[in-house]
Amino acid sequence: LYGNQLSSTLPTELGNLPLLQFIGLEFNQLFGPLPPDLGRLENLSDLYLQNNFLTGSVPLAFANLRQMKNLRLEANDLSGTVPGFVCQALVTNRIFDPTFFVTDCVTEIDCPCCQYCCEDGQGCECQFAGTDNSF
């Protein structure tokens, strides 16, 4: 549903679809917080929510998303600290794709596992401690 001008909050009911593997809702007009209920989607491997109007922080429940390979959240209005599970997945190289987690590098986002972080207009460019990965 890429770029369909959908204007709504993310429905918490998505968390009731345990076999869901892919959510592609980027480039819409979604707003509000990321529902913690998405953390119940144990088979979810790709979550593309970039270029919306989402607010709040990344829910800690997302740590349950053990199959996650791509988590794209840039170009939203998110704030808070990058959850430790994201840093852990990158530092231990559980995720080999350095674009596993992309968000905006602004003062509202704190990335404790980044050695440096700078805005490049396309999301976040970040060198992770203990890896050769950057994005």
Residues 9-57 have pLDDT tens digits of 999 999 999 999 999 999 999 999 999 999 999 999 889 998 999 998 8
Is the distance from CB of 53 to CB of 76 less than 8 angstroms?
yes
Residue 98 has which token pair?
Answer: 């350095």
Residue 129 in this model has a pLDDT that exceeds 80? no
- The candidate with the shortest Cα–Cα distance to 128, out of 110, 105, 111, 107, is 111
The pLDDT, as a whole number, for residue 106 is 52
- What is residue 90's three-state secondary structure? helix
Q: Which is it for strands 22-24 and 46-48: parallel, antiparallel or unpaired?
A: parallel
Q: Is 121 helix (H, G, I), strand (E, B) or coil?
A: coil
pTM over 0.85: no
The answer to whether the beta carbons of residues 48 and 26 sit under 8 Å apart is: yes
pLDDT at 31: 97
**pLDDT for residue 6:** 85
Q: Which residues pair with 56 in a beta bridge?
A: 78
Looking at the predicted structure, is the pLDDT value of residue 132 above 50?
no
Residues 68-119: tens digit of each pLDDT: 777 788 788 887 777 777 666 655 545 544 445 555 555 456 666 655 555 5
